[in-house]
């Protein structure tokens, strides 16, 4: 399952960060999105826009494409 499969308000654990873009992956790591972390989907923008997730009480906005390369369970 990937992050974008979650519905609004659902929580899951990050299994793998399969983000291709190296800089983006670094940024996500530094924001606390990493393996073993609980993430919660807070909102999704319409027309395939970004999703808003929460990790450690920190809200982050990222694009659907990148969110879909974050594997969760």
Partner 1 sequence: MSYVALFGNPNTGKTSLFNCLTGSYEYVGNWSGVTVEKKVGVLRQHGVPVVDLPGIYSLQPLSRDEGVATDFLLTEPCSAIVNIVDASQLQRNLHLTVQLLEFGRPLIIALNMVDVAEKRGIKIDAVKLSRHLGVPVVPVIARTGKGAKELERAILSAKDGHHSRMFIDYGVEVERAIRRIAEQLPDDVPGDKRWMALQFLEGNERLAAYLRDHFDLSPLLAIRKETEQALGCQAAKHIYETRDRWISETIAAAAIEFKPKPLTLTEKVDAVVTNRYVGLPIFLALMYIVFMLTFNWLGTPLADQLDTFFSGPLTDWLSRLLDWAGASPFIEALVLDGIVAGVGGVLVFVPQIFILFFFISLLEDSGYMARVAMVMDRLMEAIGLNGKAFIPMIIGFGCNVPGVMAARTIEQPKERLLTMLLLPFMSCSARLPVYALFAGTFFIHEQALVVFSLYVLGIVVALGLAKLFSSTVFKNESSLFVIELPPYRVPQALTLWRSTWEKGKGFVRKAGTFIFGGSVAIWLLTYVGPHGVGVPMDDSLLAAIGGLIAPLLAPLGFGAWQAGAALITGFLAKEVVVSTMNIIYHVREANGLEQMIAAHFTPLSALSFMVFVLLYTPCLATVATIRKETGSWKWTLLSIGIALTVAYMISFLVYQVGMMFHFQ
Task: Give contact residues for partner 1 (rule: CB under 8 A).
Answer: 21, 23-24, 26-32, 34, 42-50, 52, 54, 56-63, 66
Q: What is the DSSP string of 50-71?
A: -EEEEETTEEEEE-HHHHTTEE
Q: How far apart are CA 62 and CA 65, in angstroms?
A: 8
| Smallest gap from residue 52 Cβ to partner 1 (A) | 6
Q: Which is nearer to partner 1, 39 or 66 (CB)?
A: 66
Distance from the Cα of residue 73 to its chain's centroid: 12
Min dist. Cβ of residue 15 to partner 1 (A):
15
């Amino acid at each position: 399952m990937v992050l974008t499969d979650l519905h609004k308000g659902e929580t899951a654990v990050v299994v793998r960060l399969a983000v291709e873009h190296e800089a983006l992956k670094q940024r996500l790591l530094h924001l606390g999105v990493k393996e073993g972390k609980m993430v919660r989907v807070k909102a999704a923008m319409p027309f395939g826009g970004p999703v808003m997730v929460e990790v450690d009480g920190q809200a982050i906005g990222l694009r659907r494409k990148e969110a879909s390369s974050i594997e969760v369970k």
